[in-house]
Structure 1
Amino acid sequence: MDWETWSDKQDETTVTVDGHDLEVAYYDEGSGEPVVFCHGIPTSSFLWRHAAPELADDYRVIAPDMVGYGNSAMYDGFDRSIRAQEAMIDDLLEGLGLESVSFVGHDLGGGVGLRYAVHQPDAVSKLVLSNAVCYDSWPIQRIVDLGLPDTIEDTTVDELQEMLRGIYEGTLYADDPAEEFVEGMVGQWASEEAKTSLSRNAIGTNTSHTTEIDHTAVEAETLVLWGAEDEFQPIEYAERLEEDVDDAELVGLEANHWVPEDRPEEYLEHLEEFLAS
């Protein structure tokens, strides 16, 4: 599935975060027990292009673009931290009438899931963390640099896209990464507004938002499904999560950071087994 097809399948709604009414685009397909997918930086819900449609045969699958990303609000003037994204998820799910969900988070989305599971334990029945930010594992230097005003002001849209393309092509595990995935991820940042939004997203990465929570307080049954060759979020953090979360299992896959794209079939197999257990 390419980016345009994915975008056509999205619904839109408005959520309220810190008093701001923000448009959120989200994929919502299937019926049954709800499963929520949350992406990270600098991706979008398109990260779940393999897993979400497959799971929609048996579950109600909801995959939003976080605010500041994809087809959600990108204008300047609101917080994009994982604290704010947690509030977005909370308001979105309340608006959809969902009291309890299984939550699957990658990268920053994993940090959102951790906070949500700790703060609202009754709202998360099962938790999947994939190459997730946690403890003090983040932000990485590349993201810090993107948030610097001088960096983004001195970078054109074309230069930004080429830089991001290079990051994806250089870190996807496959020797020949899927071009539609790379172009879909890069294409969302194809305007001046989007360029500024990415910078604001980057500067909103705040280590305090995971160091302030007690990871041992997660009550949900948890699968730590990790790309074991990750150069951004090393597997040592996954091992720490497995040790600290009372009901957690670690599964390492032969993949880099973008594990749902690197190993789509294996990822889906482990995800389906965990959700059905």
Structure 2
Amino acid sequence: MTALPGIALEAWRGLGQSFNFNGHAVRYWTAGDPAAEPLLLIHGFPTASWDWHYLWQPLAQKYRVIACDMLGFGYSAKPRGHAYSLLEQADLQQALLEHLAIQGPLHVLAHDYGDSVAQELLARHHEGRIQLASCVFLNGGLFPETHHPVLVQKLLLSPIGSLIGRLFSRKKLAASFAQVFGPHTQPSARELDDFWSLIAANNGPAVMHRLIRYILDRRVNRDRWVAAMQSTAVPLRVIDGARDPISGAHMVARYRELIANADTVLLEQIGHYPQTEAPAEVLAHYLQFRERLAGG
């Protein structure tokens, strides 16, 4: 497929705005026609909303796209000693929507850590606390029983997690990403520099051991989230890089076991970051999903 041009990180940074969430500065981005259907993009761990930069402009041609760097990520505040949680990140997404005066049905496109935030929003949809129109998940730990964390994630969750975070470096990031990206879609040196700069901003490595507790949040909320996915009338789709050792083809197999009439797309040679490894394919599969919804 034709490559998408993307947005350079410095240009992306310049497009951001800030709002206050519980006393913390959060960076967010919007684009597209304010009257168009809202589409919330939710990034993963340990990166930030720049993950969506290849898809940002193509999606903004059709929808009002919204994204933020969640608390502890990217250019947003990374408070030390904070008890980060997925539920609080869902609160943050709802606060951002309120800040932007966005009401009514919301479409969601999420990845990795963001999948769990999206699952929480789906559960809240069933509780009448938000109205979702659709939800698409990229690679992520939708089910704790199929999540295979890489070594650095296990170490961050261990009693020496704070030390591991402080020692985390661009070199260690490159080693981790080499494991989880597809064999033919490895990140370039420039991309690794940019990913690392987002993690390093505001002394991010110092809070990684606190952010990683999302793995425990997933276990606690697993049954509620899966029940919401199983009972929902909200249209769902999974677009997944099959070569991802964390949440690749094995996660999709479990999804098909648990979710009736499962709508899944497997990208056979792609790893954990399909939106940067194969953005044109992800865009095509996402737009096809939305066109089908629009057609009833």
Q: 1:10 aligns with which of 13, 16, 29?
A: 16
Q: 2:80 aligns with which of 76, 80, 94?
A: 76
Q: 1:144 to 1:35 in 2, by over 3 A?
A: same
* More strand by percentage: 1
Corresponding residue of 1:201: 211
- How many percent of aligned residue pairs carry the same amino acid? 22
For structure 1, which segment, 222-231 or 193-202, has the greater mean C-alpha deviation from structure 2 after superposition?
193-202
TM-superposition CA deviations, 1:1-23 (whole Å, max 9, x none): 2222211111111123xxxx322
Contact 1:223 1:248 in 2 (8 A): yes
Contact kept, 8 Å, 2:77 with 2:202, in 1: the verdict is no
Q: Please say if 1:150 is aligned against 2:165.
A: no
The 2-side partners of 1:50 and 1:65 are apart by: 16
TM-score with structure 1 setting the length: 0.89
1:256 to 271, 275, 294: 271
2:171 equivalent to 1:162: yes
Q: Which residue of 2 aligns with 1:108?
A: 113
Contact 1:11 1:26 in 2 (8 A): yes
- Is 1:87 equivalent to 2:87 in the alignment? no
> Which residues of structure 2 form unaligned runs of 5+?
1-6
- The 5 A counterparts of 1:185-224 are 185-190=195-200, 193-206=203-216, 207-213=219-225, 214=227, 215-224=229-238
Q: Could you tell me which residue of structure 1 aligns to residue 131 of structure 2? A: 123
Counterpart secondary structure, 1:205: helix
Offset from partner CA, 1:177-202 (integer Å, 9 cap, x none): 33332222111233683111222111
Question: Measured at CA, do residues 154 and 227 of structure 1 come closer, stay the same or move farther in structure 2, by a change above 3 Å?
Answer: closer
Tell me, in whole angstroms, the C-alpha distance in 2 between the residues paired with 1:246 and 1:93.
Answer: 30
1:66 to partner: Cα distance: 1.1
**TM-superposition CA deviations, 1:201-227 (whole Å, max 9, x none):** 113432223344313133310111111
Residue ranges of structure 1 left out of the alignment (5+ in a row):
none
* Residue 55 of structure 2 corresponds to residue 51 of structure 1: yes
Q: Is residue 105–residue 128 contact of structure 1 (8 Å, CA) maintained in 2?
A: yes
Q: For residue 181 of structure 1, what is the aligned residue in structure 2?
A: 191
Q: Residues 2 and 181 of structure 1 are in contact (CA less than 8 Å); yes or no, is this contact kept in structure 2?
A: no
Is the 8 Å Cα contact of residues 39 and 105 (structure 1) preserved in structure 2? yes
- Which residue of the partner structure matches residue 39 of structure 2? 35
Higher helix share: 2
Q: 1:79 offset after TM fit, Å?
A: 2.9
The 2-side partners of 1:138 and 1:237 are apart by 7
